[in-house]
Each structure stands twice: as C-alpha cells, then as structure tokens.
Amino acid sequence: MAYILLNLLVLLFPLVLSFDRKVAFYKSWPAVFPSLLVILILFGSWDVWKTSIGVWSFSVQYAGAWRFLGLPAGEWLFFICVPYSCIFILACVRAYIKEHELPIPLWLWYVLAEAIILAGLLLMHKTYTGIVFLSVGAAILAVRILSPNNFRSSNFWIALAITYVPFLIANGILTGLPIVLYDNSRNLNIRVGPIPIEDFFFSLSMLLLSFALYDFFGRKQEKHSLHKRATALE
C-alpha cells in the first residue's frame, strides 16, 4: 500500500541512523516510546473522530480497504513514524549544533496560546480549522508546562523548522495522489500546493507536544538512572 510504504520510508533513515555514535538515539528510546504512545492515543483519537464526521477520508486505492476504528493502517503508522523521525531530528540538532538561549519572555506564550485558542473558537464553523487552532493553543500550553525551556532554545526552533522539509515532501504526496481526501467545507480551502494550510498547524501541534513529551520523559529517565547509580554506590 502506498500509505504504508510512505510511512516506512519516512522512518527508514532515522531508524538506521539511531545507532550513530555521536547521537546514539537508541539510548533515548525509553523517553521516545512513551512519547509516541501518548501521541498515538491523543492524535489517533482525534483522527478517529474527524474521520467519523467526514472532515476527511482515505483513498481505498492508496490506503487500502482495511480499517481499524475507521482509519487505515497507514494512518496509525503515521502517528508512530513521523513523530519518531522528527524527535530524531531534534536529537541530531542538539548533538551537532551549539545551543543558544533566546531572550523570549515565557509569559508571551500564554498570550499567544490564548489568542490562538480564541481564533479556533471563532473558526469552529470550519471544523478542521477551528479544532486545529485549538490544538496548537493547547500544545503551546503543554510545552509551557512540560518543557518550558524549549521556547528559549535555539535548537528547538531549528529542529522544528527542519521538520517542515520532510513534511512538505510526505504531506505533498499524501494530498497530491491523493491518499487523504478533504471535505473543503470543513476547512478554509487555502492550499500550499496540494496541502491544506491547516495541515501545517496540525503538524505544529503534534511536534510541539512530541518534543515536550520527549524532554519530559527524558528527564524522568535521567533521574531514574541517577537514582540507580546512587543506590548502587550505597
């Protein structure tokens, strides 16, 4: 199936390069996997709901006829392969690029989140647009709670920007074939090439939360390792 193959291609190089000596991303898997599980549950549930009310649908030709809770196998894989690959990009940026702290006041993100959530409420007559704005606002608040230093991290923003390169390629294929079919009455019908503009915000909310969860679980993993070492020395 085209959709499954696309997901596997997205995952291929990050998975193989997870064993690079400098990045050693495989050592972060205890933080990565719970992050992916949370993303799969949250965004998978959102996707099930959106599909059930007809915001979008999936081509049988490219995604296959098999469905679980209304979603094809490729869509479930999407919420594993894409966040994994993007978290890998974040790890690589942190390994190879010097970090700089950005002078951004953290209170600003509360204001921004409130403004985006308000915009989402005003756009709820366009179901996809309204909900995706609400999700971005919620993701900003989640980052502020789970990993607030990310907003001041130059590497965080560099990694986020880099993720939009594979996003444009993969999402261009998804919407260009098309694998995903949209009901344009539920969105603004503004496109970048074949890609609805809402997809950019969908990706933003998913990756903001993915990065924050990765750092949150990473800190827990580090504390657990330090505790084990301290216990072993006693």
More confidently predicted of 6 and 226: 6
Which pLDDT score, from 0 to 100, does residue 223 have?
Answer: 74
pLDDT at 106: 82
Query: Which residue type is seen at 224?
Result: H
Give 17-66 pLDDT, tens digit per residue: 999 888 899 999 999 999 999 999 999 999 999 999 999 999 999 999 99
Question: What is the C-alpha separation between 75 and 191, in angstroms, rounded?
Answer: 21
pTM of the model: 0.91
| pLDDT over 60 (residue 227) | no
pLDDT the model gives residue 21:
86
Pair of tokens at residue 195: 């890609």
- Residues in a beta bridge with 57: 181
**Averaged pLDDT score across all residues of the chain:** 92
pLDDT beyond 80 at 5: yes
Helix, strand, coil in percent for the chain, rounding step 5: 75, 5, 20
The b-or-e profile of 92-120 (16+ CB within 10 A means b, else e) is bbbeeeeeeeeeeeeeebeebbeebbeeb
Give the pLDDT of residue 2: 87
Would you say residue 230 has pLDDT above 90? no
Q: What is the pLDDT of residue 20?
A: 87
**Interaxial angle between packed helices 2-16 and 154-176, expressed in degrees from 0 to 180 and rounded to the nearest 10:** 150
Determine the pLDDT at residue 233: 58
Confidence label for 220 from pLDDT (cuts 50, 70 and 90): confident
- Measured between alpha carbons, how far is 5 from 26 in angstroms, rounded to an integer? 23
Whether the predicted pLDDT of 231 surpasses 70: no
Predicted local confidence at residue 222, as pLDDT: 76
State mean pLDDT over 104-121: 92
Give the least confident one: 115-119, 207-211, 222-226.
222-226
**43 close to 79: Cβ distance less than 8 angstroms:** yes
Tokens of 190: 């503004």
Window from 115-119, 198-202, 227-231 with minimum mean pLDDT: 227-231
The residue among 168, 35, 24 whose CA lies nearest residue 96 is: 24
Q: How far apart are CA 140 and CA 125, in angstroms?
A: 23
**What is the band of 234 on the pLDDT scale with cuts at 50, 70, 90?**
low
- % residues pLDDT > 70 (the chain): 95
Please report which confidence band the pLDDT of residue 91 belongs to, taking 50, 70 and 90 as the band edges. Answer: very high
